A and B are shown apart, each in its own frame.
Chain A
Amino acid sequence: MKGVCATENRGTKEIGSEELVGWDAVTQGVVIHSFEGDAANIASLKQEERCYSEFSSYTATVASWRVVKPVYNRDICIDCQNCWVWCPDTSIISRDKQMLGIDYDHCKGCSVCVEVCPTNPKSLLMFAEHDEIEKALESWPQKEKKD
């Protein structure tokens, strides 16, 4: 999972931590450019290959907004991509139709991914933000029996 999820500039700064410049230095029309330089072929690049600008939300983290977090269990997941489709914050990381994990810099803990997960038991479950991942995986529930 490392090398794909942990990109250099993703989630490197807290929202509101940027340098506060004066009125003469802000952009005209309150516009924000998403990328540095020419971005004509940006759609063909993976997120970690893109030149996101300082003010792109990609470089900021909102992890501190979260009180509960989804934990992902690779052993159960069937790579159906439901969570990737439904996540409102593009925080499910998937490559070549294979689920890799959660972008904890942008996930806000809404639990939609858990809701849409079709496996039994679920491959994604919500835990307290302070719970350790390993312990969470150890406490994973068993398959529910049908009546």
Chain B
Amino acid sequence: MAERYDLQEIEVWDGNYAAAHALRQAQVDVVAAYPITPSTPIVENYGQFVADGYVDGEFVMVESEHAAMSGCVGAAAAGGRVATATSSQGFALMAEVLYQASGMRLPIVLTVVNRALASPLNVRGDHSDMYLGRDSGWIQLDAFNAQEAYDMTLCAFKIGEDMRVRLPVMIHQDGFITSHTAQNTNPLQDEDAYAFIGEYETYQEMLDFSKPVTYGAQTEEDWHFEHKAKQHKALMDSRDVINEVFDAFEKKTGRKYKRVESYMMEDAEVAIVALGATVETCRLAAQQLRADEGLKVGVVAPRCFRPFPFDNIREALKDVKTVCCMDRSSPGGAMGALFNEVSAALYSTKNRPLVTNYIYGLGGRDFAVEEAKRIMREQKAHADAGYITTQIQQFSGLRGPKLGFFETNRR
């Protein structure tokens, strides 16, 4: 029996430590992991919990992230509650197995501390790895601070393991800004956290010898499409379960989460859409612009990046004049992913607000409140002019000559 860990009502935790405690409280059966910056302390602290008797499960050290996720797939198919952590290059190395996990409908929990992808080699936070996972068939939850990293990790088990879902879940937090910044965090006591998640329910487990089962069967053009469609439907349908779990979490803790978080949007003319810790920077900027300059600015943030909250995004942004989508990943010859997806959602609204795109913060480049305010003022200028007065895609915080792409045809 695992030892109980005495927790204060308020603990000072960074995002990594918060995630490690959430994994401990979930009493995971198998963690197979290969530590990588900046998510190393999740694995390190979890290993400490195991060594100190706070965890009953197995902790498996492996030779790579590909092996880590492969170990997770095997353990989950065998019938265990399974989790791991990674970042960046490790995430990229896991990529092949991520698709295996979701295709096999295994509710593995992966805590991802977002970090840039090389080259150039970089350990700081951006969303390249998170974006790499966006077609992998996983549910992707986004935490903007340490408290949310803890809360979302607890919710992730309950969402993924629900019999109506049975899909793997990632919880994203920003490298260093969230993972290494200690903040006041309100944890649940061990028994409350475990009661919230519940006992692990097995399904089609390989260790049931009375019903031997093959995982990862080969299908060709005759069956593959139907299996992928069924998987996609499960991911789309997980939206209702995510709502239910967030409601149950609010009842337990008083902390309210939604698949799309809207801030100061009631009468907003201008909206910024962002992910990660940047959401909090933008909220502060909106607060200040409203107080000091009377600008009607709001912030919209997908808490749930996959399944993409197409309907909620549309609802949140349908009455604004201008939307600026902030993408923290080099888009590699396209508009940013958030821009593309938000634009697609808004295309089927009556109002069709102007939508612009900023690429920012790559490789951990700082994004400060003043820059968020400048961008918001610029969006207000678009709104007043009735058209996009700058190029549609611009770069924020980049040295050198101004870089941007595409003019509007709508003026």
Interface residues of A (CB under 8 A from B): 16, 20-24, 26, 28-35, 38-40, 42
Contacts and interface: CB of A to CB of B under 8 A. Distances in A.
B211 A33 contact: yes
A31 B211 contact: no
A38 B209 CA distance: 9
A23 B212 contact: no
A30 B217 CA distance: 6
Contacts of B104: 29-31
Q: Which of B105, B204, B226, B233 counts the most chain A CB atoms within 10 A? A: B226
Given A16-B222, A22-B226, A30 B103 contact: yes
Given A16-B222, A23-B229, A23-B230, A29 B166 contact: yes
Contacts of A16: 222
Contacts of A29: 103-106, 166, 204, 215
A68 to B, nearest CB: 25
Given A28-B204, A29-B105, A39 B227 contact: no
A32 B214 contact: yes
Contacts of B217: 30-32
Interface string B385-402: 000000000000000000
> What is the size category of the interface that chain B forms with chain A?
20 to 34
Contacts of B166: 28-29
A20 B225 CA distance: 12
Nearest to B203: A28
B210 interface: yes
A21 B216 CA distance: 19
Chain B at the A interface: SS class: loop
B222 A28 contact: no
B409 interface: no
Interface string B87-129: 0000000000000000111100000000000000000000000
Interface in B204-244: 204, 209-217, 219, 222-223, 225-227, 229-230, 233-234
A39 B212 contact: yes
A65 B327 CA distance: 52
Contacts of B227: 23, 26, 30
A39 B213 CA distance: 11
B216 A39 contact: no
A38 B210 contact: yes
A26 B223 contact: yes
A106 to B, nearest CB: 16
B99 to A, nearest CB: 12
A24 B230 CA distance: 6
A33 B208 CA distance: 11
Given A16-B222, A29-B166, A30-B216, A23 B209 contact: no
Q: Which of A16, A21, A28, A35 counts the most chain B CB atoms within 10 A? A: A28
24 contacts: A20-B223, A23-B226, A23-B227, A24-B230, A26-B226, A28-B204, A28-B234, A29-B103, A29-B105, A29-B204, A30-B103, A30-B216, A30-B219, A31-B204, A31-B214, A31-B215, A34-B214, A35-B211, A38-B210, A38-B211, A39-B209, A39-B212, A40-B209, A42-B212
B213 A34 contact: yes
Nearest to B210: A40
A35 B204 CA distance: 13
Nearest to B209: A40
Nearest to B226: A23
A35 B210 CA distance: 9
B17 to A, nearest CB: 33
A26 B227 CA distance: 7
Contacts of B226: 21-23, 26
Given A32-B217, A33-B213, 7 more contacts: A23-B229, A29-B105, A29-B166, A30-B227, A31-B214, A39-B209, A40-B209
Contacts of B219: 30
Which 5 A-B residue pairings sit nearest by Cβ, starting from the closest?
Answer: A29-B105, A23-B226, A40-B210, A23-B229, A32-B214
A29 B222 CA distance: 16
